[in-house]
Structure 1
Amino acid sequence: MRLLDRVAVITGGASGIGRAIADRFVEEGARVVIADLSAEAGARAADEINGAGSRGSAAHYAVDVSARDQVRHFATAVQERFGRIDVLINNAGVTRYRPFLEAASEDWNAVLDVDLKGVFFCAQAVAPAMVSQSYGKIVNIASVSGTGCSAHAAGGSPGGNAAYAAAKAGVIQLTKTLARELGPSGINVNCVAPGFFLTPLTGSTRTPEQVKEHVAARAGMAVLNRPGKVIELANSVLFLASDEASFIAGQTLFVDGGRTDRM
């Protein structure tokens, strides 16, 4: 088992990609800590995981990753409960599709607060525990949008994604900086940039018809001509969180079905 008894914090771990990562980690023996904005969703996910009979286990905490004090208190609570923090998966994310000329400061702030500041706050909160152990794995979830996606959402979906693209570009660069600063302390910091995956976020700002059009348009952007499966992304994150990736630092792994080859 690649994560046997490792304590792994997963933000946004109650659903979608985060839940898939949590499920996969528990299969590999991890003690997963789900940090989610929804206490109810986090509790439900932890109960389901613990009831599945895997070698690992799951706990949950309600956390707003954009609130620095909450994040610090959460990290302290995890450290006190488990005695260590081995892995951090910065997965929590939001989006607001707005045309650039119509986007309000509230739209910009809502996305940047979670998608970029949240990554910074969580990494800063858990890093001291990792430094004290001389061991840690931080994997940030970015997006191909952070490397040059179009300024509007494909498939007829409403609005653009300027704030989201800016946040994810920031995550990619933050990953490089953290890798340089934390690497000498035995901490590997890397990033995964997903292409198009079907998750609850896909339909959060779209009608069913828009989702259908969006899927058809986005799937064709990849060389493999299909959306990704969340288990495929979870396996990639697992690799970077494991000791198999012990000599990888500051890198962005594109899990996009070849989409970046067509950009």
Structure 2
Amino acid sequence: MALVTGGAGALGAATGLRLARAGSRVVLVDVDGDGAERAAERITAQTSLPVIGRKADVTAEADVERLIAEIAAEHGRLDQLVNAAGRNARGGFAEMREDWDQVVAVNLWGPALLCHAAADLMGRHGGAIVNIGSRTWLSGGPAAYAASKAGLVGLTRALAVELGPRGITVNAVAPSMVITPFTRRDRSDAEFAAIVERHEAMSAVPGLASAEDVANAVAFLASPEARFITGEVLHVAGGAQLAPRP
């Protein structure tokens, strides 16, 4: 049984599809419940597998506890948790105050709540947690976003140590630029083209990562093949996590 947050978004939906194709029963969760249901319906249409879409706010403790309780009652287990819900604020440090709490709540507090609520259920059989980070934890970026993603790496490593004895691995996937509605939002065509060009120039491998590239990395870390890997950050960045090319 797999739970993927941010299921209405490109990365969450791609991850849900990849896990479903690997044999997991998938629940997609998003604060946009209708979007999660539509994504689940698309995956079901492609795979003929019963993917579920549900509404939940990952920053609300009551929503998270209800969600995990429903999964426990309906399925009796949770094997994979993917924290893919994300929020960004693109302003500079001077303008970031009003966005700070929302960004940190979704990107860091939400995964912490999910991991805390899911640990007992996952610990009955063992399992895998994969947190979706960002290359910005190394490179920097918008202050609230980069700080939250760096914090997510710290959370990943702390939980890897704490939950390992219960048979739960905890890892992070850190993508570079992926062209999605999330990264394109509120940007003009010219502005977005310039951003894409800049990120392509940073990559040692031609092009940019796709949502499917990220989903493949998540699926590996969530699979039995990665059973002895924990506390790691897997960059899906074409080498852009290294110093930019001159």
Q: Secondary structure at the match of 2:242?
A: helix
The equivalent of 1:203 in structure 2 is 184
What's the offset of the Cα at 1:102?
Answer: 2.0
Between the aligned partners of 1:78 and 1:191, the Cα distance in structure 2 is: 23
Q: Does 1:45 align with 2:39?
A: yes
Q: Is the 8 A contact 1:223 1:257 kept in 2?
A: yes
Runs of 4+ that moved beyond 4 A: none
Q: Secondary structure at the match of 2:47?
A: coil
Q: Secondary structure at the match of 1:260?
A: coil
**How has the CA–CA distance of structure 1 residues 225 and 262 changed in structure 2, closer, same or farther, with 3 Å as cutoff?**
farther
Q: Is the 8 A contact 1:9 1:35 kept in 2?
A: yes
Between the aligned partners of 2:99 and 2:93, the Cα distance in structure 1 is: 10
Indicate which of 213, 218, 223 corresponds to 2:199.
218
The equivalent of 2:23 in structure 1 is 29
The equivalent of 2:169 in structure 1 is 188
Q: Does 1:61 align with 2:42?
A: no
Amino acid in structure 2 at the alignment position of 1:131: G
Amino acid in structure 2 at the alignment position of 1:108: W
The equivalent of 2:120 in structure 1 is 128
Q: Does 1:146 align with 2:137?
A: yes
What's the offset of the Cα at 1:259?
Answer: 0.6
What's the offset of the Cα at 1:113?
Answer: 0.5
Of 203-212 and 90-99, deviating more is 203-212
CA deviations on 1:105-143 (whole Å, 9 max, x unpaired) are: x2101100100001101111111101122x110000111
Q: What fraction of aligned residue pairs are identical, expressed as a percent?
A: 38
What's the offset of the Cα at 1:243?
Answer: 0.2
The equivalent of 2:104 in structure 1 is 112
TM-score calculated relative to the size of structure 1: 0.90
What's the offset of the Cα at 1:165?
Answer: 0.2
What's the offset of the Cα at 1:34?
Answer: 0.3
Between the aligned partners of 2:186 and 2:65, the Cα distance in structure 1 is: 31
Q: Is the 8 A contact 1:79 1:85 kept in 2?
A: yes
What's the offset of the Cα at 1:244?
Answer: 0.2
Between the aligned partners of 2:107 and 2:171, the Cα distance in structure 1 is: 16
Q: Secondary structure at the match of 2:46?
A: coil
CA deviations on 1:232-254 (whole Å, 9 max, x unpaired) are: 11111100000000110111111
TM-score calculated relative to the size of structure 2: 0.96
Amino acid in structure 1 at the alignment position of 2:44: N
What's the offset of the Cα at 1:187?
Answer: 0.4
Amino acid in structure 1 at the alignment position of 2:124: S
What's the offset of the Cα at 1:219?
Answer: 1.3
Q: Is the 8 A contact 1:30 1:57 kept in 2?
A: no
Between the aligned partners of 1:188 and 1:97, the Cα distance in structure 2 is: 32
Consecutive unaligned residues in structure 2, runs of 5 or more: none
CA deviations on 1:165-196 (whole Å, 9 max, x unpaired) are: 00000000100000000000000111111111
Q: Secondary structure at the match of 1:258?
A: coil
Q: Is the 8 A contact 1:96 1:205 kept in 2?
A: no
